A and B are shown apart, each in its own frame.
Chain A
Amino acid sequence: MEILGIVGSLRAGSYNRQLVELAADNLPDGVELAVWDGLRDLPAYDEDDDATTSFAVAGFRSAVAGADAVLVVTPEYNGSIPGSLKNALDWGSRPRDTAAFRGKPVAVIGASPGSFGGVWAHAETRKVLGLMGARVVEAELSLGKAAERLADPDEDLIGQVRAVINLLVTEASARAAAA
């Protein structure tokens, strides 16, 4: 089973990249997690180019389509979804009838230096994914105080990350069984 990780932060020392790497280091047997690294390369979404053959867009859609599930790991910018991540999701939502995210099991988690852990961004990302037709799993992990928590991840945090992955695996397995 393959999970695609999408990180909503581009900065080199991203806490959210550390969080997805923590997930990658604690996967169940038989599960792989590959982090997509094309966020910076996507052009701004343009409805006129829905059927684009742009290499960056096609690569993103193909990566989502090829994964059994998607783990979105994102910070919160100004109380909401980072623009670059929202841009990627907009590309991934089209063409509407064949969009790679339709029916795809997706979990949304993330981390922030503050206390709330990016909870607004995560709620809004779930809303967007729901409208796109994704199967958004009931997993919540908005990790506050990210610098301290990620510097030396404790068992509680690792357990929360594993629980999210397990939910994704359960949903993806159910989907594969029904196919």
Chain B
Amino acid sequence: MVRDITLGQFMPGRSLIHRLDARSKILFLLAYIVFIFVAGNYLSLMLITMASLLVILLTKISFRMYLKSMKVILFVILLTGILNLFYGSGEVLWEWWIIKITVGGINNAIFVTIRIATLVLISSVLTFTTSPTDLTDALERLLKPLTVFHIRVHELAMMMTIALRFIPVLLEETDKIMNAQKARGADMESGSIFRRIKALIPVLIPLFVSSFRRANDLAMAMECRCYNGGKGRTRMRIPHFSWLDLWGLLFSLVMFTGVVLCNVYFPPLVR
């Protein structure tokens, strides 16, 4: 069950998007998120959605993987969509008791649904096409200026690397412990939700204990290999910006200008 989660998984490949520098991918994603929310009418929203679909095509990863990543938060998307249906003003279409559905509400609902869906899709592009190490490395490099404010950027990035490294290890261990408990007659698949949560306690406690043991071992192994924090450390791979990143920038600029122009020349539907 835990293995089905594709959100945040890396799919190796050699597509244009894969070859973009991880730093520019992060920056493009941030700009993208901003512009998804800047888009104020259907035309600009369509523009930005089309652009994200184009980017998804360029990754050459099957669309099914993206849908899988959507599945995890489908509930959230639907819930916010439905809730937004009841907000908004304008011409009332249907009314019952205190519930009013207005034109504004329908617009809101459609907008929010598309926005969140696009957001998830485009974020998946980043995690699908960038290896965890590249991602943390890029974050470390991008956040480097924050060291001025005594934020320990290297340590944060290291923590992230280790967390990512141990997700599969701990998943496997969870499986093992669950099987061991089942072999002793533990019942984890029946009963009410509370019973099932209670049944997980004998799985979580050994998992916790072993995580601490692993952390201890890992700390020792890192010490053995002269780990001393970020000071005086070099890196094997140094990322370089390429022409590809420039094209990416150009593409994004054109698109963002388009969104802004659409916003200016056509009336906004939502605030």
Partners in one complex: no
